[in-house]
Amino acid sequence: MNELQVKTIELIPAAVEFNFDELSVVLDKQLKKYEGLEFTDKDATACKKTITELNKGKKALDTYRKETKKELTKSVTDFEKQCKELGEKFDSVINPLKEQHDQFEEERKNIKRLEIEGYIDHLVHVESLNEKYAAKLVVEDSYLTKSKTMKSIKAELLKAAEHFGIQQDKEEADQEVIKSHVELVNTKRTSNLPISSYITLLDYQSVEEIKERIEYDAQKKVSEVQYEQVPFSSAPASVSTDQETYAECYEVNGEEHELEMLEEYMSSNGLTWKVIEK
């Protein structure tokens, strides 16, 4: 296509001459008589007539401008039309070629994507990643560009896979610690705390915080069971059943450990009590 050169055969700049100076002098002279005119309500008709005459002259000038401009730009319009026609000839060949190129590019990306996905599967197997961490290894859009080499892509994915492997090992170790602690506490306290409830807390709390929570929940659970097992009507072992007993209702406010101390005091002194739910 080197021999194809656009050459201008003739270029005549648009130009027009008209009696501007003559019209300008005549217009100034004629319009001067209208300057400073003042009308009263009675002269409304005359005022409207004057405006109509002035608008008529202005419209004639504007019509002349538009018609003259149309003549001046006719060659430009024809020029643009011819260039567009030549451009369409280019497009008729370029567009099919572009479609082929786009198809080749898509096929290249698909081949590269499959190669990357195969390497990801390899890393998942080597690092023994579970579903959660395997899902974090993805084919980034930047990997599919021509400038991104497979060597650099594999280096990035390997680093990420090793990092996820470390995270997974720590998570599994933490889960095992929590599981063992729940089982130990359940055996020690004769409680039945669900392991899964505390495993999910690892996303928000440290292992030590969760262990403290387990201890607290177990103690609370045992206390609740003890409360339920104390019958309200039973007589204290140290008190003769022949003695008359009385019942009083109290509302006691205090911190949790203070209430626990009060309950322990009442039980140790042979008092029969129970928690009344409101």
Identify whether 241 is part of a domain. Answer: no
Residue 56 forms part of a structural domain: yes
Residue with tokens 């009696």: 19
DSSP 23: H
Contact 133, 165 (CB under 8 A): yes
Mean residue pLDDT of the chain comes to 84
Which residue, 214, 272, 218, is CA-closest to 245? 272
Exposure of 188 in the CB half-sphere (CA atoms within 13 A): 11
Asked if the structure places residue 110 within a domain, the reply is yes
What angle, 0 to 180 degrees and rounded to 10, lies between the N-to-C axes of helices 207-229 and 150-189? 30
83 located within any domain: yes
* Token pair in block for residue 228: 């339920």
Which value, in Å, is the radius of gyration of the alpha carbons in the chain?
Answer: 48
Q: Which of 210, 212, 227 is nearest to 267 (CA)?
A: 227
pLDDT of residue 109: 96
**pLDDT of res. 236:** 47
CA 190/CA 195 separation, integer angstroms: 14
Task: Give the per-residue pLDDT at 277.
Answer: 66
Q: pLDDT grade, residue 39 (50/70/90)? A: confident
Q: Is the pLDDT of residue 238 over 50?
A: no
Could you read off the pLDDT of 72-120 as tens digits, one per residue? 888 888 889 988 998 998 899 899 999 999 999 999 999 999 999 999 9
Burial class (CB in 10 A: 0-12, 13-18, 19+), 193: middle
Task: Please check whether residue 15 lies inside any domain of the structure.
Answer: no
- How many structural domains comprise the chain? 1
Q: Does residue 203 surpass a pLDDT of 70?
A: yes
Identify the pLDDT of residue 237.
46
> Which class for 214: exposed (0-12), middle (13-18), buried (19 or more C-beta within 10 A)?
buried
Q: What percent of the chain has pLDDT over 70?
A: 88
Least confident stretch, 57-61, 191-195, 260-264: 260-264
Domain assignment of residue 181, yes or no:
no
Domain-located, residue 272: no
Domain span holding position 146: 47-157
Rounded to two decimals, the pTM is 0.54
- What DSSP state is assigned to residue 237? T
- Answer whether residue 165 shows pLDDT above 50: yes
pLDDT beyond 80 at 43: no
Element (H, E) at 76: helix 44-127
What's residue 126's pLDDT? 95
- In the predicted structure, residue 3 carries a pLDDT above the cut 70: no
The predicted-structure confidence for 129-152, as pLDDT tens digits, reads as follows: 999 999 999 999 999 999 999 999
What are the start-end ranges of the E strands in 47-153?
none
User: Quick check: is 107 in a domain?
Assistant: yes
Show Cβ contacts of residue 128 under 8 Å, excluding neighbours closer than 6 positions.
165, 168
Alpha helix ranges (H) inside 200-245: 207-229
